[in-house]
Amino acid sequence: MKKPFFTAGVFWSLLLCTTQLSAVDTGSISETPLTDSVFGVQAEEVFSIHFRQASLREALQLLSRVAKVNIIIPEGIEGLVTVHFRDVAVKDALNAIVKANALDYTVEGGVIRIAKGDAFKETGENLQTETFHLNYATSKNMVSQVQSLLSSRGSVFADDRTNSLVVRDLPANIENAGRFLDRVDVRDAQVLIESKILEVTRTFSRALGIQWGVTKPGSRVDLRGLEDVGAAQSDRNLNVDLPAASPSGGVGLILGRLAGGTQIDLQISAAEARGDAYVISDPSIVTSNGMLAEIRSGTTLLINAQGDINIGSASSTSAAGGGSGLQQIETGVQLNVTPQISRNDYVKLTIEAVTSQPDFTRAVQGLPSIIDNTAKTTVLVKDGETTVIGGLTRFSESDQKNEVPGFARIPLIGNLFRSKSRRKENTELMVLVKPTIVTNDGTLPVQMRVRSIEKRRDAMYLEPLSDPLRDEEKKMKREMRKNVKSGNKYTKMRPPNAP
């Protein structure tokens, strides 16, 4: 049954709406059907409805009165609607208007509830729970990142025992969280940090080919204990005049690098043989990309003092429990390196080097003064290239007397029974750091390099001496093979110098 009176009433009442029509994006629409039993009109009744620039809220309210159905329209539902329906049922008109404005609806009893699509999904869709087992990432560190991907109803918690995440939310959000975890839960690249802590002579450090103060063109390095060192081009040899050694033996640390192609291991081995270098420590450590690696080599001093002692960079700990006054002070070299793999096989190293040594000549109440030097810098080093931290000069001078008791005090001839000697030492502490990117399969290249170095070292220093008898035998064997091939008769081989 048609009711044309509604057409005219609605048309003229809404014709005065002249607001500009705004574009509305379409969204996900629920397929919940509107049954005829919800409406207060007969199913066969149809209407001709025309809206032009009408308010969406007013249009829905008008349809609610015509269809004699309760419709809940929350705040925030705004917009304009222009439609022309001819001979349609009210439920079809309502369904078309809702879909055209990216809205969603649900039927609860005799009430139609309208809401925006996303809001309706969050409040009406059932939640799901899924567990994600992590292989490389730490579960508790991923909680906050996954939580940001979930809705207000979602939750996530970490299980440290199984290193897994339990996520509860809408299915779409759980799927997004799974894709995110697949991208971030990957094996971290690893870096092998090889370091050498050497005590060398000043002549060896200059002969090693180190470019002091070089990082990259145009930059400057600020290090404690030394004035700013300007950078130079990598093909220039920059020698920095270090300050004169003080009686305490401590100067600032400086940074340098080794020129490409330097066989540092072989040069150090040769320097050890000459007595120009002494390897104090040769540690190697593997760390994940972006993780801190700590290397320490030093001495533990035992001092009888009450309470904790903190002198410079060296701190003390109690060597025994209870009220014992025996304290431990850690001195030596502390090296903290954080690698960050960059493009083109470069590694950015954040280095902090601390050296400390006791000076008992300046002891106060039995506690020695601690001479410490610190260097903090960030350098870009190519994979397998070596950077050097040096500048800690140790200068010592000692006088020694030897005499024969009694006879050395005889006037005139006493000098015949005593002697004096003076010894001066000028050495430098040098720290070499070489990063090497570990291959994806986890193979460490250090074993191959060690074997290669050992072979070269054997070829240089352990070549067997020539044996004349053995050389003569080899010569005779070669001649015998030559004669056999040529068909000449060859007599029985005799040892050389045989009668």
> Cα 246 to chain center, whole Å?
39
- Return the number of other C-beta atoms located less than 10 Å from residue 337's C-beta: 23
Q: What is the CATH number of domain 128-182?
A: 3.30.1370.120
Token pair of 25 as six digits: 């994006």
According to DSSP, the residues that pair with 373 across neighbouring strands are: 355
Strand partners, 223: 226
In DSSP terms, 348 is beta-bridged to: 340, 380
pLDDT value for 315: 54
Residues of the chain with CATH 3.30.1370.120: 47-122, 128-182
Residue 97 C-alpha from the chain's centroid? 54
Q: CB-based burial of residue 197 (10 Å sphere; 0-12 exposed, 13-18 middle, 19+ buried)?
A: buried
The H or E element that residue 66 is part of is helix 56-67
Rounded CA-CA distance 242/229 in Å is 11
Give the N- to C-terminal CA distance of the chain in Å, as an integer.
Answer: 141
DSSP per position, 375-431 = EEEEEEEETT--EEEEEEEEEEEEEEEEE-TTGGGSTTTGGGGEEEEEEEEEEEEEE
Looking up tokens 């994979």 gives: 383
pLDDT, position 143: 93
Give the residue from 249, 243, 192, 272 showing the smallest Cα distance to 442. 192
Q: Phi and psi at residue 412, in whole multiples of 5°?
A: 70, -50
How far is Cα 103 from Cα 446, in angstroms, rounded to an integer?
A: 64
| 8 Å CB contact between 304 and 326 | yes
pLDDT of residue 338: 92
- Residue 393: alpha-carbon gap to chain centroid: 33
Q: How many helical (H) and strand (E) elements, i.e. helices and strands, does the chain have? A: 10, 23
pTM flag (> 0.85):
no
The per-residue pLDDT string of the chain (499 residues; one tens digit each, 9 = 90 and over) reads 444 444 434 443 443 333 333 333 333 333 344 554 555 555 567 778 788 888 888 888 888 887 777 888 877 778 888 888 888 887 788 888 888 887 777 776 677 877 776 665 555 557 889 999 999 889 999 999 999 998 877 899 999 999 999 999 888 889 999 999 999 998 888 888 888 877 777 666 555 555 444 333 333 333 333 333 333 333 333 333 333 333 333 334 445 555 444 456 666 666 667 767 777 777 888 888 888 988 887 777 777 766 555 554 555 555 544 445 677 777 877 889 999 988 888 899 998 888 777 777 677 766 777 777 777 888 888 888 888 876 666 666 667 778 888 877 888 887 877 777 776 667 777 788 888 888 665 555 545 555 555 566 555 554 444 555 566 777 777 777 777 666 655 444 455 454 4
Predicted confidence at residue 16, as pLDDT, reads 35
Question: Could you tell me if residue 204 is left (phi over 0), alpha (psi between -120 and 50 degrees) or otherwise beta?
Answer: alpha
Q: Which amino acid is at 388?
A: V
CB 389 within 8 A of CB 251: no
Architecture (CATH level 2) of domain 47-122: 2-Layer Sandwich (3.30)
Distance between CA 350 and CA 389 in Å, rounded?
A: 13
Partners of 103 in beta bridges: 116
Using CA atoms, how far residue 190 sits from 259, 287, 292, in Å, is: 25, 6, 12
Question: Nearest-5° angle of CA 224, CA 432, CA 233?
Answer: 70
Q: How far is CA 229 from the centre of its chain?
A: 28
Beta strands in 80-148 (DSSP E): 80-88, 103-108, 111-116, 128-133
Give the count of beta carbons closer than 10 Å to the beta carbon of residue 466.
7
**pLDDT recorded at residue 156:** 93
Q: What is the pLDDT of residue 485?
A: 65
> Burial, 82: exposed, middle or buried (Cβ in 10 Å; 0-12, 13-18, 19+)?
middle
